[in-house]
Structure 1
């Protein structure tokens, strides 16, 4: 079995699957972080080279089951996996954790992309908590907001000021990426509600930009924003390929056991 990883769920699934008699687990990581979490003893790090490369790998390794447990925003590898599974006839499952949904007190602004998120910020806040990783920062690099004339409370468009960003990521950004002005915070979740609340207050954050990743590891920032009445610009998930999907680890493990029983 090949598990395409990159999430906490993939880590747990690799352990659970390896405990099932008769299952040999290979896990694959894209290798976008410097110290990726190794999911099993047999872990592959790095890309496959598109659909053709993944198809060849599935055949070379004689994979019977392919589970896509990648991040909800890793759309390209998900489509590649679906195409490779269709080409080879290998059974394919997507483990997709449920998206977050707004609740009472949330102040969400739903957008479709990073570029769309950047367009709403200048009129929203001057100090932004940016939590979208390190690869897609360019749309936020040169944003400005009109300054405020404190005497008559009017906006002075001719005296625009740069937006300031608190940018959280696991590893430093690549050298060729445009960086928004502000502070880079290197940290790996999960984060507690108390930590997130303190962070937002310490840096006087006026708005948050987040991907709708789902799960518990980074949800505390959404709860803290709700408590502090901070608006969240929420980037919606990209589409996923058609195919069999489950939302929980338990149903994924049950699917594996079912396929083994059919083959027995």
Structure 2
């Protein structure tokens, strides 16, 4: 039985938000082969998917009474958060790990993966966007606490944006002044650190936000959560509960 490359949850929920999770699972579909030639340990790492992001997305969509769409294939198969002409669309080397099944992937193989996985996801994503007036896209990702050979990352949350900062600028301010987030950081024995376009640049031409939000003038933000904070179902529920009221209040207070 063929498994769809994406899943939609809460399609009929009336909220303005569309929660997206581009890197939700580490599943390697049978059309590709087993494990892409790398170990189970590597497939469980951040290189294969965004750890904890799917659980946060589900809880957040429920809290905002809004739909959610997520992929169901590893980003090592093909990265749905990259444009079709992006050189990192099919990664051959990621954070020190060579991906054997991708090393010899030629144009025909990349096109096959686009047709099987990448394009169906984006078609469904755009359909959900088009059905929502004054919608706001909220993309949920996670980042590893430390890349190999790099310093540990200090942020608990990163908010990524390109030139459209209508929502992200006031949202970052709300996060920084949040007593509940401050208390959570203190519970972790840390100082609250919010990244503005950290740990990544907020704009890759052709990425999901560029394609579905910026090109249409839709409100948007991309939330990156440090993956060690959302590894368990309980942590995922807690962080969604922390973020949902701040998202709601920011939208109300800005009048967007």
TM-score scaled to structure 1, two decimals? 0.31
Query: Quick check: which has more Rg, 1 or 2?
Result: 1
- Which of the pair has the greater relative contact order for Cα pairs under 8 Å at 6+ separation? 2
